[in-house]
């Protein structure tokens, strides 16, 4: 577990660096946070996603693992939205909360943890999930929030007039578009020219530390006053309920080979990732509680992952 602590510590330190930088009085923390969020969302993260999907071996995709992971994950997302709406929570906030409890930190934390526990075999399964993670979850969340906001406008438009702009907005989403483009590039077997690939590598490498620093900046700017309770609830659902649902499917309903099942459950058990925060900031909703959920779930993950690994690697 020392190796795991060594992987988690830099993540926490980068977020702390962002926090203390955000607490400085030398600049407007809100303006800087928004600027870095836009750069990450529109440049660095798209480069990472496009290169990942453009280069992945499509023939090696574990379709069984993908179904076992994403079906209960999508179901949980829908259930959270329905539950929050029944509590009279605004639709856009409900969608952001649903994304937070289903979108884990698959790259910064997921890759080193899976590799340490299951080696290259486990990493291949995890990479398949990463390849379609953003496409499935962010597309679903974008469609729901765009639909909710158009519904709130109370306009008497036809279904086509509502759906066409909504799907256009979904397709040109700065996270979804590079994933779709990457898969198309991959299926057409187009090469990535050396200078282009080198540029994408540099941008992709910057995406991870930038997103971690952004978490700390957001924490400093938004604070956690008044949002600890919903953040704790989201962390509990993400770290306990989400992996439990995936485990029920992976081990009992649609039994997978032990290593495949363990990796899908471990992926579901990851703490809240940075993309829900970028998503919340894009729509200017629930930024504070999403930031708090990332921090709380990441800290708590240090304990939950030890227990989970003890079970999965027996």
Structure confidence by residue, pLDDT tens digits, 221-251: 777 677 889 999 999 999 999 999 999 999 9
Q: Running DSSP on this structure, what letter comes out for residue 57?
A: -
- Token readout for 308 is 């989970």
Contact 136, 70 (CB under 8 A): yes
Phi-psi region of 286 (alpha: psi -120 to 50; beta: other; left: phi over 0): left
- Kind plus residue range of the DSSP H or E element containing 78: helix 63-86
Q: For residue 28, what pLDDT is reported? A: 72
Distance CA(210)–CA(280), nearest Å, equals 17
Distance CA(313)–CA(6), nearest Å, equals 20
Within a 13 Å sphere around the CA of 263, how many CA atoms are in the beta-carbon half?
29
Q: Running DSSP on this structure, what letter comes out for residue 5?
A: H
Structure confidence by residue, pLDDT tens digits, 204-225: 888 878 877 887 887 787 776 7
What burial letters (b/e) apply to 175-193, b meaning 16+ CB within 10 Å? bbebbbebbebbeeeeebe
Distance CA(217)–CA(76), nearest Å, equals 29
Query: Cα 261 to chain center, whole Å?
Result: 20
Residue in this structure with the two tokens 């729901």, named with its chain if needed: 144
Rg of the chain (C-alpha set): 19
Q: For residue 33, what pLDDT is reported? A: 79
Structure confidence by residue, pLDDT tens digits, 156-179: 455 555 556 656 655 666 767 887
Q: For residue 313, what pLDDT is reported? A: 73
Distance CA(251)–CA(255), nearest Å, equals 5
Backbone φ and ψ for 90, nearest 5 degrees, come out as -55, 145
Q: For residue 62, what pLDDT is reported? A: 73
Distance CA(273)–CA(8), nearest Å, equals 13
Residues of the chain with pLDDT under 70: 1-8, 29, 60, 150-173, 175, 224, 314
Instruction: Calculate the alpha carbon distances from 309 to 46, 77, 246, 265 in Å.
Output: 31, 25, 15, 10
Residue in this structure with the two tokens 């499935």, named with its chain if needed: 136
- Domains of the chain in start order, with CATH, are 2-312 (1.20.1530.20)
């Amino acid at each position: 577990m020392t190796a795991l602590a060594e992987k988690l510590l830099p993540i926490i330190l980068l977020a702390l660096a962002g926090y203390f930088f955000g607490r400085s009085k030398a600049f407007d923390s809100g303006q800087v946070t928004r600027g870095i969020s836009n750069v990450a969302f529109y440049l660095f993260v798209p480069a990472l996603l496009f290169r990942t999907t453009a280069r992945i071996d499509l023939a090696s995709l574990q379709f069984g693992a993908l179904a076992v992971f994403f079906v209960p994950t999508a179901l949980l997302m829908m259930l959270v939205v329905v539950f929050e709406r029944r509590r009279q929570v605004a639709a856009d906030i409900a969608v952001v909360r649903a994304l937070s409890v289903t979108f884990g930190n698959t790259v910064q934390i997921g890759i080193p943890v899976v590799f340490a526990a299951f080696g290259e075999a486990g990493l291949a399964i995890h990479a398949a999930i990463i390849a379609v993670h953003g496409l499935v979850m962010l597309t679903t969340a974008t469609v729901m929030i765009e639909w909710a906001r158009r519904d709130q406008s109370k306009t008497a438009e036809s279904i086509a007039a509502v759906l066409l702009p909504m799907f256009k907005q979904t397709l040109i989403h700065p996270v979804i578009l590079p994933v779709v483009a990457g898969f198309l590039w991959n299926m057409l077997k187009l090469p990535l020219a050396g200078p282009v690939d080198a540029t994408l590598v540099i941008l992709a490498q910057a995406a991870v530390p930038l997103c971690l620093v952004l978490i700390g900046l957001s924490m400093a700017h938004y604070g956690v006053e008044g949002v600890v309770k919903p953040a704790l609830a989201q962390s509990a659902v993400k770290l306990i309920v989400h992996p439990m649902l995936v485990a029920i499917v992976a081990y009992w309903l649609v039994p997978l080979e032990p290593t495949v099942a363990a990796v899908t459950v471990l992926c579901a058990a990851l703490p809240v990732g940075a993309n829900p925060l970028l998503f919340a900031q894009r729509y200017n909703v629930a930024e504070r509680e999403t930031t708090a959920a990332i921090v709380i779930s990441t800290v708590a993950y240090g304990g939950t992952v030890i227990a989970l690994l003890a079970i999965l690697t027996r």
